[in-house]
Amino acid sequence: MAQPLFRVIEMGANIAWPHSDFINKGHPIKMGFLSCEVNFFRLIWRTAYVVIATVLAMAMPFFNEFLGLLGAIGFWPLIVFFPIQMHIAQRQIKTQSLKWYALQLLSLICFLVTAAAAIASIRGISKNIKKYKLFKYKQ
């Protein structure tokens, strides 16, 4: 889920500092018979992101509801709607044919599941925010 954010930040850093080797260059690392190339900016930035997300998860006992909400928001358009529309366009499925209706029904059912998950996450957030205590696991 964080890949688009990673891409935006890394592209922004590339544009802001185009001549920086720290940001734009990969450094080869060899360990015995294994070798790879590591971009230190990417390594530090992504590690910091994971650390911050982990601290937020510890600080907010209901962080999983936020993750559920983000997952629900991203599920239908990215996993269902766009792939179905691409399939319809690639296969040139005629509108209002039986296959077109079946694909649209599948998309609608997945949208309803996504809406229910988003509503449940919002309910969980609103319910838990009233008894919020910093860095508490059980209330």
**pTM of the entire predicted model:** 0.57
34 with 66, same domain: the answer is no
Residues belonging to the chain: 139
pLDDT digits (tens, 9 = 90+) for 31-73: 888 888 899 999 999 999 999 888 877 777 777 788 888 888 8
Q: Domain span at residue 39?
A: 1-59
Task: Clarify whether residues 97 and 71 are in a common domain.
Answer: yes
Residues 77 and 54 in one domain: no
Domain boundary, last residue among 41, 59, 77? 59
